[in-house]
Structure 1
Amino acid sequence: MIGRASLLLVSFAALSACDQPTVPDSGAGVGFGSYTAYQAQREQELIAGGEGSSVSVLPPRASTDSSTDQLIADAAAAIPNTAVPATVENSVGISAENDFDAVAGERSIEEDAARVAANRSQYQVVEPTALPSRPSGSTTSLVTFALSTQNNVGQPIYKRLIPGAAARQARNCAKYPSPDLAQEDFLKSGGPERNAKGLDADGDGFACSWDPAPFRLAASARNN
């Protein structure tokens, strides 16, 4: 009975040993037989090479086919060369504000101050003056007169039988600062029927170059 139990125990142990997976040796390294052997070989190569020698610390890459090598070469050629040169030279030179020699040749602070003072001494202060007053008291305002007329500038309505009327108008109109003032004086002096001061040579009722069109346009826009 004991012998049969012992036989069963031995059989069970054998089956357990067969089912247990094999654990790989982590000390064997990757790509070579033994990492310990590789490390010892590397130390010997470093000692033999001396200071400053370059020794590869990794095993050589496995060879690839020619097509893979060609793809790697094409990819490397397609990468632009962005390396910065060892020395960068500026052909145009540095700006004057960064060049001490250029700044030293310019004017000093005292010279600049003297030039500013000289410019200020030449300034001329212009005092504002009052605007000229418009004449008042005319019997007919420009707006009222403009809206009461319908003829255009240069279209005669009143008779002007005075020789040399155009030359006289040019001389007399030059005495007025603006056409509005000339027209006001013209109406005050008996215009448009009379041309006492010779301001309306063509007889259209408008002195000098005065034009009633802006007044008519403003009244028309307001009514609309």
Structure 2
Amino acid sequence: MRVILGFGVALALTACDVPVPDSGVGFDNGNFKPRISDEPLGATATSLPPAESVSSETLDVLAATAPVPSQPTGGESAFVEASPSNPAPVRVENSGISDENDFAAVDARRSIEDDAQRRQQIAAQYQQVEATDLPERDGGAGPNIVEYAVLSKNPVGNRIYRRIGLNAANRFARNCRAYPSSDQAQIDFLSRGGPERDPRGLDPDGDGYACAWDPTPFQKLGG
């Protein structure tokens, strides 16, 4: 009795067994087998119905909406299919690139005689300019402290000019503060009759240099 019941249960389970759908890859006895397809990569899975089963209006709509391959414009380069059977691309137009550094290209259109003639033509265009003397200074720009420093041989602080005046120290400090620099003070000192005369008291020690102006840097530049 138990054997009969067991055999009946086995038959019931076999009838209820649901087949496993194909996953799209393919299996055979547990071994993996990749699917081989003749369909090229990137192609869509949707296929069009036969032409005889489609009306002419539908075919016109499909033809009008079909993608059109883009064509290269005038400023773009044409696409080149990478294939060993295709020859290497060759640049046809290169007028914008100079070939002056290409000896073979230059040698094909020039000769030694041509180069010699070109050098003569370039030499004929040279213009020789005769040297002239520098223009004389008109003296309208005021005293030249550089020239004064180079020509002066008196050391700083050595009295060679006579100075007379009361309260010389205070006058010196007050008047020198009115100048932005000692160079400006020396220019004004020379324009007012210095170094022999010192109406503003800018050179109380009589060395010929106003407001502690130092001619040494200019003397070194002058040699």
**Structure number with higher helix proportion:** 1
Fold in common (TM above 0.5) = no
TM-score (norm 1): 0.36
Larger Rg: 1
Give the alignment's TM-score, normalised by structure 2: 0.36
